[in-house]
Amino acid sequence: MKLTTSNEHGEKGGWLTPRQVADRLGVTPRAVRAWAKDGRIPSFQLPNGRFRFAFEDVEGILTPHASKDVRANLTETTEVPGQETLSW
């Protein structure tokens, strides 16, 4: 399987880095990685341990019709120092 990251704007159909996801969701990359480790956000883990996120999955979280269960799952308490929760 060939895995390539998207450009800085996150091309549709590409893969996003934790930084790109964090920028879109208004949180820190550390929070995104914690959510990925907890299974709260769909992700792909590379052999080196780094995470990648499908553009469609992240955009699905941002859309108004996204499942409230998915958004609620992300806002559950995760111990990430200095991290604010999302406000939907």
pLDDT tens track for 45-55: 999 999 999 99
- Confidence band (pLDDT; 50, 70, 90) for 13? confident
Q: Please, are residues 85 and 75 in contact by the beta-carbon 8 Å criterion?
A: yes
Percent of the chain with pLDDT over 90: 51
The per-residue pLDDT for 44 is: 95
pLDDT tens, residue by residue, 56-69:
999 888 876 655 55
- Phi, psi for residue 55 in degrees, rounded to 5: -50, -45
pTM over the 0.75 mark: no
CA distance 56 to 83: 24
The per-residue pLDDT for 1 is: 45
